[in-house]
Amino acid sequence: MIKELLTYFAFPGVSNRDASPYIQRLRRTDAVGEIEYVVLIAPESPTVVFVSHGRLRALDTTGVEQWKSLAGKRGVSVVLHNYPGYGGTAGPATEERLCADALQLVTFVMELKWAAGKRLCLLGNSVGCGPTMWLAAQQQLDADRVVLVSPYTSISALTPFWVLLYLAKYLHVSIPTSWKLWLGSPAHLKWVQGARFDPFPPIALARRLAKGTNVLLVHGEDDTTVLVSHTYELNAVLQTVPAVNTTVCIIPGTEHKDTRLRGDDAIWAFVKGQDAELRSAIDGIVKGGVVKVDNAVGTD
């Protein structure tokens, strides 16, 4: 019961609003509804990026068009999908259904003719980092690159902080930054990380990654939704896993909603395996100061 409540809180479901015309549907293997997805193909790309989006995103026209523009600009094929309970994908969002949908869809796409022989990269944003890490732990998928944007260690460790933020907003109470940094740190709830009621906890799944997996962690230094301390703690665990390689990109002056856009250059250099460009991008992000971005509804 606790696991179901935590999962629903993290994945509450939203409509597609102005649904994208590119939406396709895949019948679930158990015949209980369909999975909505969008495929954006860059013919020359050797990589397919499977995206697990943020908490309140769906396959609306604005978001899909932003990803379409990005896929064309970066020359990378991208797969988007709606979680259970999002858009026209049948719910509810349970851990089992989220994982089953993601696994079925990514397997289906990678077996398509245009994707044959291409590398698989998994990209998770915010709550999407849970399903992404679960997929990364499925070694039969052979995903050698994983991007985690604003990742968390555990939904169980994150939810009490989110509840506190919602209560403060509802009561019109301001929480001092120093309190947020203390209350939002995952260090206070280590005992719940990976517990039986904790849905796909990245900090536990990290230990199941295959040798040779490369992981990029991107986080806004000023993120008050998922504190940057989650990335530091998750990276510390990843560094103990044999032959798993991690790179961390902390973006100065950046809040949760702008992290992926401001980290774009580093993310796509990593996706393409361009190590020199990755180092240069991270150096530019760290030294270049805060860059203004146009973050309309969509790409996180």
Q: How confident is the model at residue 298 (pLDDT cuts 50, 70, 90)?
A: very low
The secondary structure of 222-257 as a DSSP string is T-SSS-THHHHHHHHHHTTSTT-EEEEEEETT--GG
Q: What is the bridge-based pairing of β-strands 34-40 and 77-81? A: antiparallel
- The residues that bridge with 84 in the sheet, in sequence order, are none
pLDDT at 90: 92
- Residue 112 in this model has a pLDDT that exceeds 60: yes
Tokens 């403060």, located at residue: 168
The secondary structure of 104-149 as a DSSP string is HHHHHHHTSGGGTT-EEEEEEEGGGHHHHHHHHT-GGG---EEEEE
Dist CA 156 CA 20 (whole Å): 33
Query: What's the fold here for domain 2-287?
Result: Rossmann fold (3.40.50)
- The contacts of residue 42 (CB under 8 Å, 6+ apart) are 71, 72, 74, 75, 76, 77
Measured CA distances, 66 to 198, 243, 297 (Å): 33, 35, 9
pLDDT at 286: 85
Tokens of 191: 């005992």
Measured CA distances, 226 to 131, 179, 184, 206, 215 (Å): 16, 14, 8, 18, 19
Q: Are 278 and 270 in contact (CB under 8 A)?
A: yes
DSSP H or E run through 24:
strand 24-27
pLDDT at 9: 84
Q: How confident is the model at residue 295 (pLDDT cuts 50, 70, 90)?
A: low
pLDDT at 290: 54
For residue 292, is it left (φ>0), alpha (ψ between -120 and 50) or beta? Answer: beta
Dist CA 261 CA 295 (whole Å): 7
Q: Are 296 and 66 in contact (CB under 8 A)?
A: yes
- pLDDT cut 70: percent of the chain above it: 94
Q: Which of 4-8, 105-109, 285-289 has the highest mean pLDDT?
A: 105-109
Kindly report the average pLDDT of the chain as a whole number. Answer: 90
pLDDT in tens, 265-276: 999 999 999 999
- The residues that bridge with 119 in the sheet, in sequence order, are 47
Closest CA to 129 of 259, 20, 291, 276: 259
Domain boundaries along the sequence of the chain: 2-287
First to last CA, the chain: 29
pLDDT in tens, 222-277: 999 999 999 999 999 999 999 999 999 999 999 999 999 999 999 999 999 999 99
pLDDT in tens, 78-101: 999 999 999 999 999 999 999 999
Dist CA 157 CA 120 (whole Å): 29
pLDDT at 223: 93
Tokens 């150096």, located at residue: 283
Dist CA 157 CA 201 (whole Å): 9
pLDDT at 165: 84
220 or 8, which is more confident? 220
Cis peptide before 43 (omega within 30 of 0): no
Q: How confident is the model at residue 289 (pLDDT cuts 50, 70, 90)?
A: low
Q: Angle 156-250-41 (CA atoms, 0-180°, nearest 5)?
A: 85
Query: What strands lie across the sheet with 77-81, from one edge to the other?
Result: 24-27, 34-40, 77-81, 47-52, 119-125, 145-149, 214-220, 245-251
